[in-house]
Amino acid sequence: MDAPTVTADQVRAWLGEVPDPEIPVISVVDLGIVRDVTVAGDGACVVTITPTYSGCPAMDVIAEDIERALRARGVDRLRIATRLSPAWTTDWMSDAGKAALKGYGIAPPVQQVIDISALAHGVKRHAIRPPDVACPHCGSMHTRLTSQFGSTPCKALYQCLDCREPFDYFKCH
């Protein structure tokens, strides 16, 4: 008898239950770091992940968490591959993931609109202004950046000027 083989869809569903170690309300799938799941003809499973940013210390933990979760499901032959290019972007975060972030009190990434019209006129590019971020607590847009780095380098620290609550903003990149 052949050993029961798993399908890529099944593995992906299991990975949807593996939380990000830094933000436990969001899964590694919703975060967008699981780029590919393949099951080879011999039943070996390959999970390809892309770090949220180079040198993110959580990546080793994430790889271990993925391995532990899949082994617990009986996936014995497993390989975790790291793909660095193309680089992870916050666009890969699912809508469910962004909603979970907000519910957790972290403002999800917003599209950063950079005005390049000045470039056409030979004007030097302006320093990139911090994005307008809605307060995850009260929804106010009346917020200000207080620190480029929040609780982790992936996040910036903002404060709401209406409800006065500080909050983390998950930076776009």
Question: Which residues of this protein are in contact with Zn ion, per CB under 5 A?
Answer: 135, 137-138, 140, 160, 162-163
Q: CB-wise, 35 or 137, nearer to Zn ion? A: 137
Q: Where are the beta strands (DSSP E) in 19-131?
A: 34-39, 45-49, 78-82, 106-107
CB of 100 to Zn ion, least distance (A): 19
Q: CB-wise, 88 or 167, nearer to Zn ion?
A: 167
Q: Which is nearer to Zn ion, 80 or 163 (CB)?
A: 163
Q: Are 47 and 77 in contact (CB under 8 A)?
A: no
- Provide, rounded to whole angstroms, the least separation between the CB of residue 141 and Zn ion: 10
Q: Residue 90, class by beta-carbon neighbours within 10 Å (0-12 exposed, 13-18 middle, 19+ buried)?
A: buried
- State the burial class of residue 4 (Cβ atoms within 10 Å of its Cβ: 0-12, 13-18, 19+): exposed
What's the min distance (Å) between Cβ of 113 and Zn ion? Answer: 23
Residue 142 is given by DSSP the state: -
Task: Choose between 99 and 163: whose C-beta lies nearer to Zn ion.
Answer: 163
Residue 142 CB, nearest approach to Zn ion (Å): 8
3-state DSSP assignment of residue 92:
helix
